[in-house]
Amino acid sequence: MDLADVVFGTYASWSNLVVRLGLGIVFFAHGSQKVLGWFGGPGLRGTVAYMKQALGVPAPLAALAALTELLAGCGMLVGFLTRPAAIGIIAVMLVAIAKVHGKHGFFINFSNTPGKGHGYEFNLVLIAMALAILIGGAGALSIDRLIAPWGRS
């Protein structure tokens, strides 16, 4: 197995396509809020300021996290460099659990209880989805599959 197989290799899995597109939509949307200010988001300046002030994240790491969300989302949508993107997503979600969601327990705060944020259940689902892509690759209809297809005769 060579480096191209490790980074790009994938079977033509339709289930991985579904997981990849779900991740891509979520992370493109959230990354667009954080970096571009789309969908009512604060943009990169506001994101970095919030993460620095409220969470104690250094500005370069805050910018890296926001850009990771946006670029990983784009990569997932088109199926390019999905394994590195999955690693980035997992890292960002682990930090989100450690810095924000872990202290609120497992469940999402559906009742909008004042002073209580959302738990880490959604982060955990996103990590599981990213792990599936990390293990199995991008799946069908991906640029990665064009670069290093597995299972072709």
Give phi and psi for 111, each to the nearest 5: -85, -5
CA distance 153 to 150: 9
Q: At what angle do helices 43-55 and 14-36 cross, to 10 degrees?
A: 90
Task: Report the SS3 class of residue 10.
Answer: strand
Evaluate if residue 152 carries a pLDDT over 70. no
**Encoded tokens for 145:** 């599959």
CA distance 58 to 86: 23
More confident of the two residues 126 and 11: 126
In the prediction, which pLDDT does 153 show? Answer: 40
Evaluate if residue 130 carries a pLDDT over 60. yes
Structural domain boundaries in the chain: 10-146
**Encoded tokens for 138:** 């991008």
Which residue reads 């991008």 in tokens?
138
For the stretch 54-94, pLDDT in tens is 999 999 999 999 999 999 999 999 999 999 999 999 999 99
Evaluate if residue 139 carries a pLDDT over 70. yes
pLDDT band of 151, cuts 50, 70, 90: confident
For the stretch 21-40, pLDDT in tens is 999 999 999 999 999 999 99
The amino acid that residue 70 corresponds to is: L
CA distance 145 to 7: 11
In the prediction, which pLDDT does 150 show? Answer: 83
